[in-house]
Amino acid sequence: MNIQMNTSRRKFIQNSLKATVITSLGVPLIPNTETFALNSNLSNHNDSIALQFSQVPLPYAYNALEPNIDAMTMDIHYNKHHSTYVKNVNDAIAAEKISFATEKDFFANASKLSAKAKNNGGGTWNHNFFWQVMAPSTGAAPAGKVAEALNGAFGSFDKFKEQFTQAAIGRFGSGWAWLVNDNGKLKIGSTPNQDNPLMDSSELKGTPVLALDVWEHAYYLKYQNKRNEYVANWWNVVNWSEVAKRLS
């Protein structure tokens, strides 16, 4: 009888110890179907891919745009400024649980975004665009359909260049100059900070065709306060082939 009682007591103690260990690890003793369902739903939600901005590879070497844009400026601009915009906007998307599926939707709702999300999203997109509409110096004016489109909209390439240059030089403080296609009509304008014409909050609206960064970090190492010289030399590195694609 005593042997039987001792055996039962040992089993009871062993089972109690197991239960204590399991409970301390946060594992329920009895499976709960509601808990399993909740965990499954959370797992599925976390597995969904949120909008993520990325940095396009630079299409040329850092020194490829010299002497118009120097290698050190390109290095710092791409690897410091641009990469920081990418990190910050993705951090904002995660922290603020921003659920827009595409960059287009993101900018179409820019007025609803925090300053961090809007500014860094704009900074990321604008620079991705900017790198691609430049190429090693050719010094050539546009030809073909680009020339025809600019002549039709502005009277001549020289008149277009004059108006675009004025938009770039005349932008007070930091910002961008743009050529946009607004429902088939080409327009020139500028935006402050990292705004762009895709944003619902922008006064200038349309599909970007050409852009120029006039933030001081884009030119100050080489040109200091002479933005006009930077803009004048920038025309030598415009990638008119890329502009032609965006007019299509």
DSSP string of 159-186?
HHHHHHHHHHHHS-SSEEEEEEEETTEE
Please give the average per-residue pLDDT across 10-16, as a whole number: 45
Q: Any idea of the CA torsion for 152, 242, 210, 106, to the nearest 10 degrees?
A: 120
Round the average pLDDT of the chain to a whole number and report it: 85
The answer to whether the CB of 147 falls within 8 A of the CB of 153 is: no
Q: How confident is the model at residue 237 (pLDDT cuts 50, 70, 90)?
A: very high
In a domain, 95, yes or no: yes
CATH of residue 134's domain is 3.55.40.20
How many domains does the chain fold into?
1
Please give the average per-residue pLDDT across 144-166, as a whole number: 97
Which of these, 166, 160, 162, lies nearest to 180 by C-alpha position?
160
- Tell me if residue 209 falls in helix, strand or coil: strand
Higher pLDDT, 38 or 187: 187
In a domain, 179, yes or no: yes
pTM of the full structure: 0.80
**Omega before 67 within 30 of 0, i.e. cis:** yes
The answer to whether the CB of 126 falls within 8 A of the CB of 95 is: no
Q: How confident is the model at residue 140 (pLDDT cuts 50, 70, 90)?
A: confident
Those residues with Cβ within 8 angstroms of residue 14's Cβ, 6 or more apart along the chain or in another chain: none
How far CA 75 is from CA of 78, 98, 181, 212, in Å, comes to: 5, 31, 31, 17
* DSSP one-letter code for 190: E
The answer to whether the CB of 50 falls within 8 A of the CB of 90 is: no
Q: Is the pLDDT of residue 113 over 90?
A: yes
Considering all CA atoms of the chain, what is the largest pairwise distance in Å, rounded to the nearest integer?
112
Q: Is the pLDDT of residue 64 over 80?
A: yes
DSSP H or E stretch at residue 240: helix 240-247
Range of the domain at 215: 71-248
In a domain, 245, yes or no: yes
Rounded Cα–Cα distance for residues 14 and 16 (Å): 5
Share of the chain above pLDDT 90, in %: 77
In a domain, 96, yes or no: yes
Per residue in 14-63, pLDDT (tens digit) is: 444 443 333 333 333 333 333 333 233 333 334 355 799 999 999 999 99
| Alpha helix segments (H runs only) across 32-113 | 33-47, 71-76, 83-95, 103-108
Give pLDDT, residue 214: 98
